[in-house]
Structure 1
Amino acid sequence: MASAHALPHDPENLRASAARLLAEVKAQAILIEKLRHQHAGHRVHRFGASSETAEQLQLALETSEIASAAMAAKLRLPDVEETDLPKRRPIPDHIPRQKVELTAASDCCAGCGGALRRLGEDVTKELEYVPGRFSVNRIVRPRLAYSGCERFAQAPLPLRPIERGCPGPGLLAHVLVSKYADHLPLL
């Protein structure tokens, strides 16, 4: 419609023409918003990573810490200490267990010749996989003290594939073969 003279004089035709114009304006507004969103995404992709500096990231971190502290104070939530959180779930009781006791190398002290007496023990649990079933190796290392002097003796812990972890070498081998050779998902 180039001019006002081209508008229809009939009210029904005017309403239909106005409805078409409104639909076209809405479609153009949606297209404009879509293009603005794409443009903003391209700007972030092109300029975002290089424009962020360590100071800006540090400021954002401090701002989020202040906001979380304010929210905790507002809700009066108790602070959670690391000792309250469990480290890992215990191994279920239905899995069979095997006890392995490691003893010290010598029965008497080389310096004083005193005999060993038991003070306590350190227990380490290791989840192992034997083809077709799981088992738990319960490694017990007694702490022993010499009676003639103040020295202690304890057998060293055997080498483990993951330091301070509970999976044994058989379990790790099973997981790796299942994942990479048999192409099974990790669940």
Structure 2
Amino acid sequence: MSTSAEDNDYKQLYESAINKVEQLQHELNQLKKMIFGVRQERFIPADKNQLALDIPTEQSAAVCNVLEAKKVTYVKVVKQDATQGRDSRHTIPSHLRREDVIIDPDHIPAGSKHIGTTETEVLEYKPAEIYVVRYIRNKYLLPSADETSSKIIVGPLPTLPVAKSMMGPGLLAQLVVEKICDHLPVHRQQQRLERDGIKLPYSTLSDGFAKTAALITPIYRALVTEVLNADYLQADETVCLEVT
């Protein structure tokens, strides 16, 4: 009998513990919902059986009725630009060269009068031209008075940015701009040149870039001086390895 009574006591303690755990878990869930969940104010409708307290107040007269609210209208005035309704964000710049293509109707009946035109502008692109500059230097023979010796004179060759290089200043400038400003690697530029039938070794392009960068070192030093004279400096953590 004592064993059965002890079992009942343990059973009651177990059930009591389970109920306590469930209660605590419910409270924990409610607490989490209040802290991390989205709280919304609920509208509790009034009880129909509840009598209203008709207590006059001074503020009741100042309450605004939504149905009696004054309707306010706004008129939006849109200023039309010179493009006659065309979106100004898509306006083609006026400094670009225009190439006109005149198009007539397929059939113009006799007696028709020309009354105007309808213009449609389309942006076009022509691939950059790579050409060859040939420096043709004339040579002259200057004979001596006694005609026993002679001297040859030749027109001077213009100074090029990179000595003994087949790349001119325009191509070198484009190489630097595309690599620095457009983030186009040298090997991508090499592939682009190959599509035009121009095969330049990677070492030639890379060497041309390095020597061109060395030529603008004075500009770099002037920029460093200007930056260091500023009151506020800001820099990122990009690692820049010095090539020696």
Give the structure-2-normalised TM-score.
Answer: 0.22
Q: Which has the higher contact order (CA 8 A, sep 6+)?
A: 1
More strand per residue: 1
Give the structure-1-normalised TM-score.
Answer: 0.29
